């Protein structure tokens, strides 16, 4: 498997997990004291969906089949989020803390991808998406600080 295909597979898994995680978190916050946070998280879920589609499309261009199922670790994280919510009563701050854990993981996955020998075109996409993921993480941190 090429470095592009390997990185694409890992990033697609991370993006699918992020899409689901943001969507689940937005749903938890929709009826909270901070419904505007749900709007932000929903937008970020859509961003991850777009990033996922972009990487899958690139993989198809290169002739790579990229599996887009979520990772076991992220499924465990989502399960932890559900357990945590049961214990904390879906507190908005607790949800944002869990989202930030997922975002730290996403940035780490992008960093790992950029350490590989990627083709120039794919490296450009990964670099651009990483910057947007870091920006999203900063946006979630700002929500938390304002809350």
Q: What are the b/e assignments for 27-44, b being 16+ CB within 10 Å?
A: ebbeeeebeebbebbbeb
Q: How many Cβ atoms sit within 10 Å of the Cβ of residue 81?
A: 21
Q: State the pLDDT confidence band at 11, using cuts at 50, 70 and 90.
A: very high
**What average pLDDT does range 47-58 have in this prediction?**
94
Which of the pair, 66 or 30, is modelled with greater confidence?
30
Report pLDDT for 77.
52
Identify whether the C-beta of residue 144 lies closer than 8 Å to the C-beta of residue 93: yes
Which of the pair, 71 or 37, is modelled with greater confidence?
37
């Amino acid at each position: 498997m090429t470095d592009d295909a390997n990185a694409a597979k890992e990033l697609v898994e991370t993006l699918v997990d992020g899409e689901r995680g943001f969507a689940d978190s937005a749903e938890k916050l929709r009826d909270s004291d901070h419904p505007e946070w749900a709007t932000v998280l929903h937008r970020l879920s859509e961003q991850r969906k777009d990033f996922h589609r972009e990487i899958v499309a690139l993989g198809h261009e290169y002739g790579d089949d990229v599996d887009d199922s979520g990772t076991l670790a992220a499924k465990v994280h989502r399960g932890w989020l559900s357990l945590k919510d049961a214990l904390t009563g879906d507190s908005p701050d607790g949800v944002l803390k869990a989202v930030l854990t997922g975002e730290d993981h996403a940035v780490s996955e992008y960093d790992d991808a950029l350490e590989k020998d990627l083709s120039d075109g794919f490296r450009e996409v990964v670099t651009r998406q990483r910057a947007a993921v870091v920006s999203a993480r900063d946006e979630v941190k700002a929500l938390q600080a304002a809350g």
